[in-house]
Structure 1
C-alpha cells in the first residue's frame, strides 16, 4: 500500500510503509497471514516497521514496575518526609495514587481497543489534535532519553560508594554499551531481563516491609515505636512558610514529588503494541501494575514514617548512594550495620533497570511519532527481530549526555535538561485523560457502544475529568517554590519543560495549521483488534 501525503508527514507519497497505518505486527515472531507477505524478506519487513508480539502480561507488569521504582523511590522518600511530615507525606502519596488510577483506567480502555507502541502521542494525534500528539510525543521521548543519561550517571555514583577513586566516565561508557546492545535484541529478551531486574527491587521492598514491621513492634534498639514519631516531632511539618499554610505547602510539595515518583507506571501502554493477545494481557497488566505499585509505595511510606522521624538529620543528606536512603537510616537506628551495602546493591539494580526501560520506552515513542508522520520515516524501520533499530539508536545516543556531568559547567546544563523529564510525564498523564474523553466522544459520534470495548472502566467520564484536572493543576504549580522566594533561575529551571511543550504545540500548529480532530472522523479503525483478536482492516491494508 502507498502512503498518502499528509501535512507534517516525513514520508513521501510514494514510499511503501506497510500495513495497518505503517506498522505490521507479528505474533511470536511470525509474520501475520493478514499482511499477505509471507515471503517478505528481512529487508522488506525492516521497511515496513514490523513489531513482534513477544511480551507477556508479566513482562508488561515488570516493565512498568521497573520504570517506576527507581532511585527516586529509594532516596526521594527521605526528603518527602522532611517536607511534609509523616501524615502529610502518606496522604500525598495516597492522593497521587488516585490520580494514577484515573490515568491507568483511561489508558486501559484505549490500549486494549487500539494497542499501539508509544500509545500516548498516537492517541492524542488521532483523537484530539495532531499538534498535541506532536508536542506530547516529542516531550515524552526527550524526557525518557534524557533520563537514560541520568540513570547512567546514577549508576556511576552508586558504584563509587564502594570505590571513590573509580572514574564515573568509565561506568557510563560500559553501561551505555550494555543497554544499547540489549535493546537491539529481540524484545522477549529485553522483557525477561527487565523482569529479573525489577524482581530484585520488589523483593527488597517486601523485605524492608517485613523488617520495618518488626522494628516498629520493638525488635530494634529503640524499643516499641508504633506511631511514636507521628506525635514527636509531629504528624505534619511546616515547609517554607510557618503555620497551617506551611503545612499545606509541605503537603503540596510532596504531592508534586510523588507524582514524579509514580511516573513510569504508564509504560504498560508503551508495551501494549508488542504484547501477546493485548485484549487479555493489557487489562490484567494494568490492574496488577497499578495495585502492585500503589501497595508497595503506600505501605513502604507508612512504615518509613513509623521507623524514621522526620527530624532525622541524615534525611537531608545530598548523597546519591545508599547512605541517604530512609531504608538504610531505619536499619542504622535499629542497630543493623550490614544493610547499607545490600541497599546500595539494590539501588544499582534499580538504576540499571531504569536505564533499560528508558531506552525501550523512548524508542517506542519515537516509533509512534514516525508512524503518525511526526518524525522521520527512518525511525519506523525494524530489523529481523522486530526491533526499531534506528529509534533505539536515536534514543540511546542521548545517554551520552551523561558525560556532561563530568565537568562542572556541563553538569549545570545536564541538570536543566533533566528538569524536562518530570513534567514530561505529567503532560503525558494529562494528555492520556484528555485523549480518553475525545475517544469516548468519537465512539458516541460513530455509533460504537462502550460495551464493545475489550476493557470497560467504571465512573467514566468523571474519572478522566478528575485525572485531567489534577494533572494540569500539578503541572502548572510544580515550580511554586520559585514564587515563594522569587528566583528567576529557579523559575526557568522548573518551567523549562512546560515552555518547551507550548513551543512544540504552537510551532506545529502554526506550521501545519491542522484542525482539531472531529469526533465523527476520528480514526477508530487503524490498528484495532476485532473480537477474534485480529487486526481490523484500514486504509486498504488488513
Structure 2
C-alpha cells in the first residue's frame, strides 16, 4: 500500500506545479481549517459528515415527491411496462453519471460543480453552476408550498402560507447549524423514506399474491387495460413509444438528488473511503427502491385509474395510497401523508444545503461574489445559506391567482436542469480522464476506478442530450409558443449563461496538461480522519444497510 502511494506521488509530481500556488496551500490539517482557500477548494468548510451520513444521503437524496407522487403521472402516461422501462433506462443514465462522478470526487474530494471549470471550460462551469443552483433554490419554494398542501389534507381550512412561513423559518435555521446537524437530520429523514419504500414493496408482494379484497392479482393490469398506455399519437405503436419517451423527464426529476454525494464530498470525513462506498451501491439502490416501486405500482394500479390524473399534491394523488385503497386498506392514506410531509421537509432541507454549497463553489471559481465564501467558526457558509434560503419565500406566490402558472415554469427549470447537470458531469469526466492521460498517470492508481470507460460516460452524455433536446416535443405538434418556452426555458437559460460568459470573459477550453488535479486533493491527503464505528443497534443496522 505504501509503495502504491509513493508511485501515485511520483506520477503526480512529474508535472511542475506553480511555486506561488504551492506556497499558498496549507501544510497541515490544522492550517487547512484556518487558511483562506485558493480557487477551486473548499478548505473553509468542515469535514464533519461521517460514513453513515453519506450513505443515507445517497439513499434518501433521490427518494422524494417524484417517487411518492410523480410516479402516478408516469404510470398514467406510459402504462406499467412503459413506466418501468423508462425508470430503468434513466437509472442506467444516472449510474453512468455517478460512477464518473465517483472517480473524480474521490481523487479530488470537493464540490462537483467545480469540475467543469477545472477540467473542461470555465464558461461551462459558470453556466452549469448557476442553473444548477437556481434549480435547487426554486425547488425550495416548491417543497415549502407542497408541505402546506400536504397539511391541508388534515386541515383544509388552514392557509398554505402559514406553513410556508413556519417551515421556511425552521429549515433555514437548521442550515445555519454545523453541517453534521444536516447529516443527522437527513439520516433520520432518509430512514423514514427507506422504511416506507421497503414496507410498500412487502405490501405490494402480499396484495399481488392475494392478500387484498380482490384476491390474487398477478399481472392483470398488464392485460387490462394494458402494459403500455397510448399517448398523443394516433398510430398505436408510435403512441406507446411516445408515452414511454414522455415519462423520461419525469423519471429524471425523480432521480434528481443522487448527485448530492458529489456536493457532500467537500464536507465528508475520509472521502477516499466513504464516497466510493456510497457510489458503488447507487445502482442497487436505484434498482431496488425505484424500479421495484414502479413495478409493484404497475401491478396494483391500472394506468386508467382516474385518481392518477389528479392534480393534488397530498396523499390522495399518491399511487401508493391508491394501491392501498383498491386493496381495501383504510389506514394507509394518513400514514402516507405523514411520510410525504417528512419527504418534502427533507427535500427542502437538502435544497438549502446544496444550494449554499454550490454558491461557495461558484465563488471559489470566481463566478460569484467573494462574500459568499464567508463561513462561521463551525464552517457554515452563512451568506450563501441566507441567499439560497431567501428564494424559499417565493412559496408565498401560491397566494396569488397567477402563482401556479409561474410555478409550472419553475418546475420545468428544475427537472431539465438535472439532465443538463448530469451531461456536464459526464463531459467533465471525459476531460478528467484526458488530463490523467496527458500526465501519464494510469487510472489504475485512482482511489476509485469507474468501469466501462470512456464508453459509459459517452453513453450517458449522448442520451442525456437527446432527452434535453426532445423532452418538449409536445410544443411542436401543434406548435405552441407558450409550451415551447415552458419546456425549453432551462436550456435557453443555460445557453445564454454559457455564451454570455464566453463572450464577456473570452475563456478558453482547458488544455489537458493544464487541468488542476491537485488543489483540494493534497489537503485531504495530509489530513487525518478518525473513524467512528456505530455503537447503537440502530447505527449498526444502517451501517449494514449501507
Q: TM-score, normalised by structure 2?
A: 0.89
User: Using a 3 Å threshold, how does the CA distance of structure 1 residues 311 and 516 change in structure 2: closer, same or farther?
Assistant: same
Q: Which residue, out of 231, 239, 247, partners 2:231?
A: 239
Corresponding residue of 1:364: 357
- For the Cα contact (< 8 Å) 1:22–1:371, is it kept in 2? no
Deviations 1:68-123 (A, max 9, x none): 21112111111111111111111111111110110000000000000112x12x10
> How far, CA to CA, are the matches of 1:265 and 1:229 in structure 2?
31
SS in 2 for 1:83: helix
Task: Provide Cα deviations, 1:242-281, integer angstroms capped at 9, x if missing partner.
Answer: 2110000001111221112111101000000001111100
Q: Verify: 1:32 aligned to 2:26, yes or no.
A: no
Whole-Å Cα distance in 1 between the matches of residues 364 and 322 of structure 2? 48
Q: 1:516 to 1:19 in 2, by over 3 A?
A: closer
2:139 corresponding residue in structure 1: 147
**Is the Cα–Cα contact under 8 Å of residues 52 and 385 in structure 1 kept in the other structure?**
yes
From the superposition, tell whether residues 508 and 213 of structure 1 become closer, same or farther in structure 2 (CA, over 3 Å): same
Question: Do residues 451 (structure 1) and 444 (structure 2) align?
Answer: yes
Q: Following superposition of structure 1 onto structure 2, how do residues 340-419 of structure 1 map, counting pairs within 5 Å?
A: 340-419=333-412
| Deviation at residue 533 of structure 1 after TM alignment | 5.7
Partner of 1:10: none
The offset of 1:35, in angstroms, is: 3.8
1:112 has 2:101 as partner? no
Preserved CA contact (<8 Å) 1:23 1:49: no
Does 2:258 correspond to 1:261? no
Question: Are residue 180 (structure 1) and residue 180 (structure 2) matched?
Answer: no
Unmatched runs of 5 consecutive residues or more in structure 1: 1-17, 26-30, 43-47, 536-542
Aligned residues: 504
2:159 match = 167
Conservation of the 8 A alpha-carbon contact between 1:53 and 1:273:
yes
Q: Distance in 1 between matches of 2:251 and 2:411?
A: 17
Tell me the CA shift for residue 23 of structure 1: 9.3
Give the alignment's TM-score, normalised by structure 1: 0.90
Match of 2:267 in 1: 274
1:414–1:82 Cα change, 3 Å: closer
What is the SS of the residue equivalent to 1:233? helix
Residue 50 to residue 20, structure 1, CA distance change in 2 (3 Å): farther
Q: Distance between the aligned counterparts of 1:183 and 1:166, measured in 2?
A: 27
- The 4+ residue runs of structure 1 with deviation greater than 6 A are 18-25
1:323 touches 1:340 (CA, 8 Å); kept in 2? yes
Match of 1:317 among 300, 307, 310: 310
Task: Determine if contact 1:151/1:352 at 8 Å carries over to the other structure.
Answer: yes
Residues 531 and 152 from structure 1, CA distance in 2 versus in 1: closer, same or farther, beyond 3 angstroms?
A: closer
In the TM superposition, what is the alpha-carbon distance from 1:200 to its structure 2 partner? 0.6
The 2-side partners of 1:342 and 1:442 are apart by: 51
Q: 1:205 aligns with which of 197, 201, 205?
A: 197
* C-alpha distance 136-218 of structure 1, shift in aligned 2 (>3 A): same
Q: Which moved more, 1:361-370 or 1:417-426?
A: 417-426
Match of 1:434 in 2: 427
Check the 8 A contact 2:176/2:380 in 1, yes or no. Answer: yes
Query: Partners of 2:411 and 2:322 in 1: how far apart?
Result: 27
Higher deviation after alignment, 189-198 or 130-139: 189-198
- Separation (CA, whole Å) in 2 of partners of 1:150 and 1:19: 42
Are the counterparts in 2 of residues 23 and 50 from structure 1 also a CA contact under 8 Å? Answer: no
Q: What is the CA deviation profile of residues 430-466 of structure 1, one whole-angstrom value per residue up to 9, with x for unaligned ones?
A: 0000000000111111122112211001110001100
Report the CA distance between 1:323 and its aligned residue.
0.5
| Structure-2 residue corresponding to 1:127 | 119
Q: CA deviation at 1:311?
A: 1.7
Query: What is aligned with 1:76?
Result: 70
Task: From the two aligned structures, give the one with the greater helix fraction.
Answer: 2
Matched, 1:97 2:77: no
Change (3 A) 1:294 1:19: farther
Does structure 1 residue 528 correspond to structure 2 residue 525? Answer: no
Q: Which residue is 1:219 aligned to?
A: 211
2:258 alignment partner, SS class? coil
2:103 and 2:446 in contact (8 A); partners too? yes
**Does the C-alpha gap of structure 1 residues 526 and 448 become closer, same or farther in structure 2, counting only changes over 3 Å?**
same
Matched residue, 2:130: 138
Using the TM superposition, name which of 307-316 and 61-70 deviates more.
61-70
| 5+ residue gaps, structure 2 | 1-19, 37-41, 529-546
Q: Does 1:420 align with 2:413?
A: yes
**Mapped partners of 2:398, 2:525: distance in 1:** 51
CA RMSD in angstroms, aligned pairs only: 2.2
2:288 maps to 1:295: yes
Question: In the alignment, is the contact (CA less than 8 A) between 1:54 and 1:275 conserved in 2?
Answer: yes
- Greater shift after overlay, 171-180 or 526-535? 526-535
* Residues 268, 21 of structure 1: alpha-carbon distance in 2 compared, 3 angstrom cutoff: farther
Question: For 2:320 and 2:129, how far apart are their aligned partners in 1?
Answer: 36
How far apart are residue 24 of structure 1 and its match?
Answer: 7.3
Match of 1:334 among 327, 330, 336: 327
Contact 2:429-2:457 at 8 Å conserved across structures: yes
CA distance in 2 between partners of 1:174 and 1:431 (Å): 36
- Residue pair 2:250, 2:415 contacting (<8 A) in 1 also: no
